[in-house]
Structure 1
Amino acid sequence: MSDASYKTISVKDFARKVINHEDLFIIDSRNTDDFDDWKIEGRNVEVINAPYFDLLEGIDPIQEKLPSDKEIYVICAKGGSSEFVAEQIAEAGFTDVYSIEGGMKAWSEHLEPIKVGDLKGGGSIYQFVRIGKGCLSYLVETNGEAAVIDTNRMLEPYEEMIHKLGVSLNYVLDTHLHADHISGGRKLAEIHDATYYLPPKDAGEVIFEYNPINDGDEILVGATTIKALYSPGHTIGSTSYIIDDQYLLTGDILFIDSIGRPDLAGKAEDWVGDLRTTLYERYKKLPDELTVLPAHYMTIKEMNDDGSISAKLGDLYNENHGLNISDENEFRKTVTENLPPQPNSYQDIRETNMGKVSPEEENQREMEIGPNRCAVR
């Protein structure tokens, strides 16, 4: 292969293009089943599936679909096959061809920090967008102190932000026991000698020490107060956090365009009532002006112009279908029957987050591969 025939681009640089809503053309060279299950999405992204094995003899099967006036990006599972396909396309005369380094595995792990807003007592709140999986986590910092909520297992982006801001990490919190991704909360807390909090009703089977956080508890981060609001339904212990009386971190209870699913611990029929009470009573009592910051998003259409995922609570009560099902039986049917497939390896992920098993790093990566499936469609 000629070194100059095609170029490579990191997932970090490519993610910025997606978040900036650039016009992008992608060839995904994975098998069709994998492509249909999970792919790169963006507001101005066009992606076609062209399996690697179909292109071994050349790009004739897709040449007519390739644009001559824009850059072409190629992605595969891990970054190897995409280089071969990119080379084939470049040799056919296309000049701006890129292979995305690390493939969909690297795409799944990238976290993009975005400043959500300022806090009343100084400092800011940042949202870490895991664009390849739809996970959202948060860093709150004020007066030299910080807290991280719903940490992903990739800790480097949080470490970089902590160092950049020059703050001390005092607290790490999870909104619930996650089932779709492995929490890095305990590990991050250990590194920084920070206090780790977990809702006790989700901790019945955990085998590690933690600090329980209950309804009404308050944590002071510098000049900013984080107040716990018990909000069960996705799990029995799900707890939301009201930050600075401005932001509502809803975990996996309420999303921008959907609501949480109650079935990932096999308790859909038991927890659906809790879910309705949280959404239709507990949250309903809160100020409409609170900015909702969920732990996940479903599709790219929920992304704001700056790449963040957020909305006012009052707007969600007007626009989110899951908050406007007046008949209780219809609500129960919606959230127990209208569900996407359960997340890949969700039971193994739950046991990892309980501390019962400790998979090797590569196994953890494989467990998390795939889309976010924490919401009711």
Structure 2
Amino acid sequence: MTSTTGVIAMTAKELTQIILTKEKIFILDVRNESDFNDWRIEGENTETINIPYFQLLDGVESIMEKVPVGRTLLVVCAKEGSSKYVAEQMLDAGISQVYYLQGGMKSWNEYLQPVKIGDLKQGGAIYQFVRLGKGCLSYMIMSEGEAAVIDALRMTEIFVQFAEESGVQIKHVLDTHLHADHISGGRKLAEETRATYWLPPKDADEVVFPYAKLEEGNNITIGSTAIYMEPIYSPGHTKGSTSFIVDKQYLLTGDILFIESIGRPDLAGKADDWVGDLRTSLYHRYKQLAQDLIVLPAHFGKITELGEGGKVMAQLSELYRNNAGLNIDSEEIFRIAVSENLPSQPHAYQEIRRMNMGKITTSKEEQRDMEMGPNRCAVHDN
């Protein structure tokens, strides 16, 4: 952490470590109330209050009694400037140590934390990249000097750097489906590393770039130890949604199955058409798989879905016991649950879909704005 003008800058990485280790922290969020209600920083031992910046322009004395003594204090805003100003005012008001979030919520939205999920049977490992600020999860599978990246995010430099530090070369980049809530980094990462980019063809009707067809039967081998990645067609969230069984241990479910919920079928405007596919994939196809597979989704919706060290994972059999979305006996009630009373759709999701099709290009700043806010790929997210 670095200090400027007496207040201390806390990076998104440092904040991530605090949340993953479940340290206590008190956050003063000075964004507008509507922005705060839509999306905020959460953690098991994180207490947050929202007092908009404009209410603090004349001083912070009125809120001093709301700040707990002896707990790390972090001031947060959208970009950084307002939080730094408020932090300085609180320092002047007598609080001995005040932090502000460097880069604001924009930096929080983009930080990825690599977490080792486990080892592979014949050597190698699988890593999960946790994007706490957005609820996104990406994966890197490594074996014998080679790697595959699944559901890469647009911050491709993180995957490139991690691969270099791990001594592996990215050979394959795969998207489980055409994403709608965030901009995929898959094609860009494949171009940067000269890897093969795979995409389900049933999601690629409108894409304007070449890709390798991700279909059942096209097993992808990583390294000389034959770590098979078996694609499984599992439509419902999108028409082409595809899952992976990796090393006969892990089931990468994309956005069709999460730890506490299931994928929504309406982000292409075809909920009525896809709800049957969703039920078939979850209630029949996945039921036929080995129930001791470890489910690794592409998103999480709530901080409660994070386990030890930030891992988002659970055994398939456990989800069939505890996930409400997998325990709706009536097909009619299931249809209603996944097509009515859904959370609001992701911010700018139509533009994001077009971006992921290669139909439009935008600046880095525009991409940041398009992705601001929580993920809303699940049926039961609030």
User: How does the TM-score come out when normalised to structure 1?
Assistant: 0.99
CA contact (8 A) 2:8 2:99 kept: yes
Q: Deviations over 1:83-119 (max 9, x none)?
A: 0010011111111210110000110000000000000
Partner of 2:205: 204
Partner of 2:54: 53
SS in 2 for 1:376: coil
Amino acid at match of 2:237: H
Partner of 1:35: 36
CA contact (8 A) 2:218 2:231 kept: yes
**Are residues 1:327 and 2:330 paired?**
yes
CA contact (8 A) 1:70 1:96 kept: no
Question: Hey, what's the Cα distance between the residues in 1 that align with 2:157 and 2:21?
Answer: 23
CA contact (8 A) 2:24 2:72 kept: no
Q: Which one of the candidate residues 207, 229, 233 is aligned to 1:230?
A: 233
> Identity of aligned pairs, percent?
57
Superposed, which structure 2 residues align to 1:1-377 within 5 Å?
A: 3-222=4-223, 223=225, 224-377=227-380
Question: Hey, what's the Cα distance between the residues in 1 that align with 2:85 and 2:9?
Answer: 12
Q: Deviations over 1:252-310 (max 9, x none)?
A: 00000000000000000000000000000000001111000000000000000211100
Q: CA shift at 1:61, angstroms?
A: 2.9
Amino acid at match of 1:72: L
Question: Hey, what's the Cα distance between the residues in 2 that align with 1:298 and 1:216?
Answer: 32
CA contact (8 A) 1:5 1:91 kept: no
Q: Deviations over 1:41-95 (max 9, x none)?
A: 1111101001111011111231110012122001100011000010011111111
CA contact (8 A) 1:147 1:172 kept: yes
Amino acid at match of 1:171: H
SS in 2 for 1:306: helix
Q: CA shift at 1:200, angstroms?
A: 0.2
Amino acid at match of 1:299: K
Question: Hey, what's the Cα distance between the residues in 1 that align with 2:41 and 2:145?
Answer: 37
SS in 1 for 2:308: coil
Q: CA shift at 1:216, angstroms?
A: 3.0
Question: Hey, what's the Cα distance between the residues in 1 that align with 2:19 and 2:157?
Answer: 21
Amino acid at match of 2:32: N
Question: Hey, what's the Cα distance between the residues in 2 that align with 1:287 and 1:269?
Answer: 30
The count of corresponding residues between Structure 1 and Structure 2 is 376
SS in 2 for 1:325: coil
Q: CA shift at 1:189, angstroms?
A: 0.5
Question: Hey, what's the Cα distance between the residues in 1 that align with 2:199 and 2:364?
Answer: 23
Amino acid at match of 1:288: Q
Q: CA shift at 1:374, angstroms?
A: 0.2
Question: Hey, what's the Cα distance between the residues in 1 that align with 2:29 and 2:337?
Answer: 34
Amino acid at match of 2:169: S
Question: Hey, what's the Cα distance between the residues in 2 that align with 1:65 and 1:28?
Answer: 13
Question: Hey, what's the Cα distance between the residues in 2 that align with 1:371 and 1:144?
Answer: 35
CA contact (8 A) 2:237 2:265 kept: yes
CA contact (8 A) 2:61 2:93 kept: no
SS in 1 for 2:235: coil
Moved more, 7-16 or 136-145: 7-16
Q: Deviations over 1:7-65 (max 9, x none)?
A: 11111111111111111100001000000000001111101001111011111231110
SS in 2 for 1:126: strand
Amino acid at match of 1:213: L
Q: Deviations over 1:123-177 (max 9, x none)?
A: 1000000100000000000011100000000012111210111111100000000
Q: CA shift at 1:334, angstroms?
A: 0.2
Q: Which runs of 4+ in 1 moved over 4 A?
A: none
Q: Deviations over 1:177-213 (max 9, x none)?
A: 0000000101110111100000000000000000001
Amino acid at match of 2:356: N
SS in 1 for 2:374: coil
Question: Hey, what's the Cα distance between the residues in 1 that align with 2:236 and 2:260?
Answer: 17
Amino acid at match of 1:205: E
Amino acid at match of 2:177: H
Q: CA shift at 1:373, angstroms?
A: 0.2
Question: Hey, what's the Cα distance between the residues in 1 that align with 2:85 and 2:114?
Answer: 32
Q: CA shift at 1:4, angstroms?
A: 4.7
Question: Hey, what's the Cα distance between the residues in 2 that align with 1:70 and 1:137?
Answer: 33
Q: CA shift at 1:5, angstroms?
A: 2.4
User: How does the TM-score come out when normalised to structure 2?
Assistant: 0.97
Amino acid at match of 1:88: Q
SS in 1 for 2:309: coil
Amino acid at match of 1:41: E
